[in-house]
Structure 1
Amino acid sequence: MPQSTASPGKLDIAALETLRLVHELGSFTAAAEKLDVNQSAVSYTIAKLRAYFQDPLFVREGGRQVSTERCEHILQQVIEILEKLDDVAQPEEFDPAQSRAKVTIACNYYERILMIPKIVSELRKQAPHLEVEVVNALGDGHLRLLRREADVLVGPFARSESGFHSRRLYTEEYACFMDPRHPMAGRSLDVDSYLALNHVYINYGGGWKSAYVNEIEAAGHSLRPTITVPSPAGLASLLGQSDLVATMPSRLGRTMEGLVLNESPFRGPFDLSVVWTARKNDSAMHRWLREVIVETCRG
C-alpha cells in the first residue's frame, strides 16, 4: 500500500496504546469507543505509526483489521514497554481513603450474586472515591487479565502457568435443586435415579464444563438434559411447579427462593480463587484490592 504522507514525528505512549487496542479489538471503531475518542483520531494515530514504522501495520480482511507480520513483532515490544511503564507509574504506598483510581474485577454470575456485593461494600467502606467496574469473565477470564481489561479475576479460574498468581478463597460443590413438590424432593438420589431426572443443564454460554459433568463422564455416564440454558439466572422460576431439576453450586442454589436441595451423587468440588498477573503483583493498590477480596470472601 502507498505510505502515509503524515509526518512520522515522535512516538508517544498514547499512540502505542492505540496500536495495542486496534490489534486486540480488530477494529478502528471499537478502539475509538474504548478510548472514548472519534474514529478519525484513531485513524490519524495509525497513519502516523504507519509512517514511523514504514509498514501498513493492519490490512482489512473479512471485516477486521488484521495485523501484519511486522506489526506483530512491534507489538511484542510495545506490550512489554506498556507493562513496564505501568509498574513505574504505580505508587509505592497506597491510601485507599484518598484514592480516586479505578479497579476492574472480572467474574461471572455466581460471583456477582454471592461475592461481589460483599466485596463492593468493603471497597466502598475503605475507599469511598474508588471507581469499581465488574466485567464478564466467561470461560476465558485469564485473557482479560492478559489484555489488561481486568485487574483481578474472581471465580473457579486458578492458573498454574508462569505469569499468573492466585489465592484460594474457598471450596464449593454442586447439589441438585428442585421444586418442593417434586416427587424426588427430600429423597436420596443414587446414580440411576439422578440421571433419570429431567435436567436443566447450564452450559454457561458453551465456554465452560462444570466439574460435576466431568465426574459423570469419568464414571462412564452421560447427562441427557431436557432443557439447556446459558446461565443460572431465572432458574427458580423455571424449576418452580415443574418436574425439572438443576445441578448448580450449592451456595448459589440456596439463594433461590422456593427450591429445595437434594444431595447429588456427583458433587464436583471446585475451588474459588482470586487470580492476577505478575504485572500487578507488586502494586500497592492491587495488593490492597486482593486483600479486601480474600478477607471478605473467606470471612
Structure 2
Amino acid sequence: MSKPIDLLATDFRALDVLVRVYRFGSFTRAAEDLEMNQSVVSYTIDKLRGVFDDPLFVREARRLIATQRCEEVVAEAGQLLERFSQLTANRDFDPKESTQTVTIACNYYERELIIPHLAHLIRAEAPNLKIEIIDSSYLGHDKLLRMEADLLIGPFVQLGAAFYTRTLYEDHYVCMMDPAHPKAKTALTMEDYLTLDHVYITYGGKWKSGYMQTLEQEGHEISIAMRTPSPAGIQSLIKGTGLVATVPERLSRKLGTGLFIARCPVPTPVQIQMVWTARTHASRMHKWLRDLVVQSARRM
C-alpha cells in the first residue's frame, strides 16, 4: 500500500517551479530561470502531479501543453506567491534600489505612443529596474491571468470582476490618404467614406477596431482593397495611391507624415485603458508603476 501524500508538505518553492514551467512552456527554461538542475524541476513536477492527481503537463507535437487542472492551479498559485511575497518583502518600495522586473502587455499603438514616455520615466526613477514589453495581441486579459504580464495597456474592455481598470484617455479615428486624393479637398461624409478603397488593419485577424464594430452594427460595409496585420509602414502603402486607412488620431501624428488627415465620419471613440488584477493591486511597486503610466499618458 502506497504512503498517503502529505498535501501540506507542498511548499512555495514547488508552486514557483510549477508557475515557471507553465510560463516558459519548458522544463529546461524554467530550470535555467530558477538556476537549478532540470532533474530537480522534473522531480518537483512529478510530486505535484501526485498532489493534484493530474498530469499537469502533456507533450503534443514536441510542445509542452498545460492541462485544464494545471491552468486552475497556476492561477491560484500565482496569487498565493504574490501575496506571500508581499508579506515577506520590505513594505517600503524604493525605486532607486529596485532590481525587479515589470512586464507590460500592449500592442503597436501603445509601443509607439505610451511606452517611450513611460520607459524614460521608469529609467529616471528606477535605473536598475528591468522592463519587459510583450505583445498583447487579442489575449491581453489572458496574459494577465496567466501571470505572463503584470499590466495591460490598450483599447480593452474590462472583462469581469477579476480585473481592475483605469481609463487613461480617449482618442478618436481619422482617415489618412494621399494629399492628391480627390476626397482630400472636403470633409468626408459617411457616403464618401463607404465608397473609398480602404487599407484594413486586421491586428492579426482576432481584433476588430471600434469603427468597424460601429459600421457593422449600423449595417454598413466598406470596400477593403488591402489587408495588413499592423499599422507599421502603412504610410508607405498609402502614399501615391488612392487608398485610405482609418487609424486613431494620435497614431496618425506618428504615421501620417506627408499624408492628408481627415476626420473619420464614424463617431466611435477609442478608450485607452490600463488593466491589472488582484495579484498586483496592493503591491507598492505596481502602484508606483501605474502612477507612472498615468503620468506618461498625461504628457502626451
Alignment TM class, shorter chain as reference: 0.7 to 0.9
Residue 34 to residue 214, structure 1, CA distance change in 2 (3 Å): farther
Whether the 8 Å contact between 1:178 and 1:261 is mirrored in structure 2 is yes
AA matched with 2:229: P
Whether the 8 Å contact between 1:158 and 1:275 is mirrored in structure 2 is no
CA distance in 2, matches of 1:95, 1:105: 20
Counterpart residue number, 1:132: 131
AA matched with 2:297: C
In the superposition, the TM-score normalised over structure 2's length comes to: 0.86
AA matched with 1:128: P
Counterpart residue number, 1:123: 122
Counterpart residue number, 1:166: 165
The structural deviation recorded for 1:154 is: 1.0
**Sequence identity of aligned pairs in percent?**
46
Whether the 8 Å contact between 2:238 and 2:244 is mirrored in structure 1 is yes
1:207 matched to 2:191? The reply is no
Residue 112 to residue 73, structure 1, CA distance change in 2 (3 Å): closer
Matches within 5 A, 1:1-299: 11-23=10-22, 27-28=26-27, 31=30, 40=39, 42-50=41-49, 56-61=55-60, 63-66=62-65, 75=74, 78-256=77-255, 257-299=257-299
CA distance in 1, matches of 2:241, 2:68: 57
The structural deviation recorded for 1:29 is: 5.4
The structural deviation recorded for 1:82 is: 2.3
The structural deviation recorded for 1:287 is: 0.7
State which drifts further: 101-110 or 63-72: 63-72
The structural deviation recorded for 1:270 is: 2.1
Residue 252 to residue 186, structure 1, CA distance change in 2 (3 Å): farther
The structural deviation recorded for 1:160 is: 4.8
Residue 125 to residue 225, structure 1, CA distance change in 2 (3 Å): same
CA distance in 2, matches of 1:29, 1:192: 58
AA matched with 1:132: I
Gaps of 5+ in 1: none
The structural deviation recorded for 1:83 is: 3.6
Q: Tell me the alpha carbon deviations over residues 214-265 of structure 1, each in whole angstroms, 9 at most, x when there is no partner.
A: 1111221112311011000000111111111100001101212111111111
CA distance in 2, matches of 1:241, 1:38: 59
Residue 264 to residue 85, structure 1, CA distance change in 2 (3 Å): same
Residue 217 to residue 105, structure 1, CA distance change in 2 (3 Å): same
Whether the 8 Å contact between 1:93 and 1:284 is mirrored in structure 2 is yes
The structural deviation recorded for 1:197 is: 0.9
In the superposition, the TM-score normalised over structure 1's length comes to: 0.86
The structural deviation recorded for 1:130 is: 1.3
CA distance in 2, matches of 1:44, 1:173: 54
AA matched with 2:85: D
State which drifts further: 177-186 or 33-42: 33-42
Whether the 8 Å contact between 1:90 and 1:284 is mirrored in structure 2 is no
Residue 217 to residue 18, structure 1, CA distance change in 2 (3 Å): same
CA distance in 1, matches of 2:10, 2:242: 64
Number of aligned residues: 293
Whether the 8 Å contact between 2:75 and 2:146 is mirrored in structure 1 is no
AA matched with 2:252: G
Q: Tell me the alpha carbon deviations over residues 182-216 of structure 1, each in whole angstroms, 9 at most, x when there is no partner.
A: 12113221122111111000010012111100111
Whether the 8 Å contact between 1:109 and 1:232 is mirrored in structure 2 is yes
The structural deviation recorded for 1:131 is: 1.0
Whether the 8 Å contact between 1:18 and 1:31 is mirrored in structure 2 is yes
Gaps of 5+ in 2: none
The structural deviation recorded for 1:56 is: 4.1
AA matched with 2:162: G
Residue 153 to residue 67, structure 1, CA distance change in 2 (3 Å): closer
AA matched with 2:265: P
Residue 199 to residue 57, structure 1, CA distance change in 2 (3 Å): closer
State which drifts further: 82-91 or 99-108: 82-91
